[in-house]
Homo-oligomer: A and B are copies of this chain.
């Protein structure tokens, strides 16, 4: 197993599966129901509940200055490094909804705290994170959401089914739910679920990820593992590190396994799950017909390699060429050339799926005949100025993408 960043994960340490998600670790329950937020009647409310005995948690949030109410709420709550539950809704982003929207989020957390307390688990609203995804600018239908919050607490099940229901309920334009779990040989686990489907323009395609682990670790350890993993996976899924108003990645730990892995072991397991979820997000991106990896090597440093890879991954002309299975390497060079990095304009080499198409900034023989008709395209760009390397996952720019995103206020 190899991660996006090329870091090897020793598979002797454990096993990664896609058949389980947030309820793979011990002591986590989850549920997903249709509360009536979506007009379609599809599932739209999810709950992830930590049974303890510990409640350590960490989070990574959107860097967008325009933050949705649930992001503002969850950031505040997480200052304690502690979470007992996460409630997530699809069908509405609750972003750009003013003070009223923030109150809706607050009320949702209060309602869940009340329901959990009635159910027998004394919980405060300050131990509950809230996530929302959907159209920006509309208030949530609280008359449907609040009764749903009470209902979902009763629906919570243990085992695999609860996790799958939750993963299904957070979908928007996703076509499939995304789950992954890593079972460490030392009998502790990391599980996760994700949603997000507009990877061509992550500036607005909300990504929600909830990760759970039964390892006995501190909030600080979780924070370190989560930041490391998101930097190498979700942040390099496409593009520019830009985020929607609602992007949220949460990691909850309960110590139920009674195993305390080292930081390195935790980092590797969280990275493995995030890397697999990121691959699933790319594969299900809106309108995708090609799964593309842009790798830049020989940059001055890793940061510059990443800037260059992102510049190419964002370039509409490169993306449309790949949609057309066109080995148009000139567009790759032009995209690299506008990246604000150190370059030798005469020493750039490019290969598509291992076939050299440009050597030292001049076309290679047969470059226009390279077959890119398959669904996977690996673009390798060698800058020949240093040792920096980075990869970014992206997709093509297709008719399907235009179609899906030009539909009325979706």
Contacts and interface: CB of A to CB of B under 8 A. Distances in A.
Contact of A406 (B135, B136, B320): B320
A204 interface: yes
A66 interface: yes
A363 B137 contact: yes
B316 A200 contact: yes
Contacts of A323: 402, 406
Given A338-B65, A362-B96, A203 B317 contact: yes
Interface string A64-80: 11110000000000000
A187 interface: no
A320 B93 CA distance: 19
Interface in A339-362: 343, 345-346, 348, 358, 360-362
A405 B361 contact: no
A144 interface: no
Number of copies: 2
Contacts of A367: 137
A168 to B, nearest CB: 24
Contacts of A201: 315-317
A404 to B, nearest CB: 8
Contact of A345 (B67, B97, B135, B327): B67
Interface in A345-390: 345-346, 348, 358, 360-363, 367-368
Nearest to A362: B98
A81 interface: no
A321 interface: yes
A158 interface: no
Contacts of A321: 405-406, 409
A221 interface: no
Nearest to A139: B363
Interface string A312-340: 00011100110110111111011111100
Contacts of A67: 337, 345
Nearest to A360: B98
Interface stretch (A36-44, A107-115, A241-249): A241-249
Contacts of A368: 409
Given A320-B402, A343-B65, A93 B330 contact: yes
Nearest to A364: B137
Given A243-B338, A245-B334, A363 B138 contact: yes
A402 B323 CA distance: 9
A66 B323 CA distance: 24
Given A201-B315, A358-B96, A334 B64 contact: yes
B363 A333 contact: no
Nearest to A205: B317
A58 B261 CA distance: 66
A71 to B, nearest CB: 11
A338 B198 contact: no
Interface stretch (A121-129, A147-155, A189-197, A393-401): A393-401
A95 interface: yes
A279 to B, nearest CB: 22
A63 interface: yes
B136 A331 contact: yes
Interface in A171-205: 198, 200-201, 203-205
A407 interface: yes
A296 to B, nearest CB: 14
B402 A337 contact: no
A199 to B, nearest CB: 11
A402 B398 contact: yes
A273 to B, nearest CB: 26
Given A95-B333, A97-B362, A399-B403, 5 more contacts: A67-B345, A98-B361, A203-B316, A242-B338, A321-B406
- A-B interface, 6 closest residue pairs, ranked by CB to CB distance from nearest: A136-B330, A324-B406, A66-B337, A320-B405, A242-B338, A64-B337
